[in-house]
Amino acid sequence: MNGVCCSYSSNVKTTTSSTKGFRVGWYLIYTKPRHEKKVEAKLADMAIQSLLPLTKRLRVWSDRKKYIDDPLFPSYVFVHLNGLHEYFTVSNAEGVVCFVRTGKDIARVSEITINNIKLLTGNMQSLEVVDTNFQAGQRLVISQGPLAGLTGELVRFSNKQILVVRVELLKRSIIVSLAKENVSVCPSDRLEDIS
């Protein structure tokens, strides 16, 4: 992710850092390496809502094995800003490098994307983050189980059907394996951009 503070050409909502263009919503910050949990704790101390998606990974040392909570997106933390003052507070927080931008504008993350990430990480399914750019497929909604309500795209990957939730701003996709009976086609009135 070289140049994270540089522009991206993606279909994300953007806002300027000026007072006129600021909009309440979710944004993405880039942190120093291995500072994600510290930044999230610092933001919590400042009463600023943040989201650090975590996944359990098995770490193996020479003398032991242990499951640890690693960031799903290393060096990134999602933050909900309610005002321009919070933008400056977060910008100056220890461990924060910058806000992710698309061109000169600060990139906003859609509420749908945040909800999908919360659903995925809250249920600690077998998650995998890849930077492969999948072909657009049929949009589906999970109709049963702990992830009910999650929207995504169906693709073929490693010869099995899986649901992919795209996080377009990060140029990454979250992959979840699901049984066919747990998904249904998204009704046309619910077709929403999941990025």
| pLDDT tens-place string over residues 185-195 | 776 533 343 33
pLDDT at position 7: 37
CA–CA gap between residue 132 and residue 101 (Å, rounded): 21
Q: What is the pTM of this model?
A: 0.68
Helix, strand, coil: what percent of the chain each, to 5?
A: 20, 35, 45
pLDDT tens-digit map of 5-51: 543 334 344 444 444 578 999 999 999 999 999 999 999 999 999 99
pLDDT at position 192: 41
**Residue 148 reports pLDDT greater than 70:** yes
Q: CB-hemisphere CA count at 13 Å for 48?
A: 28
pLDDT at position 10: 40
pLDDT at position 169: 56
Domains of the chain: 14-109 (3.30.70.940), 113-190 (no CATH)
Q: Tell me the H-state helices in 56-110.
A: 84-91
Q: Kindly state the tokens that stand for 147.
A: 């992830």
pLDDT at position 109: 93
Strands 65-71 and 54-60: antiparallel
pLDDT at position 80: 97
What is the per-residue DSSP string for 121-135?
A: HHTT---EEE---PP
pLDDT at position 42: 97
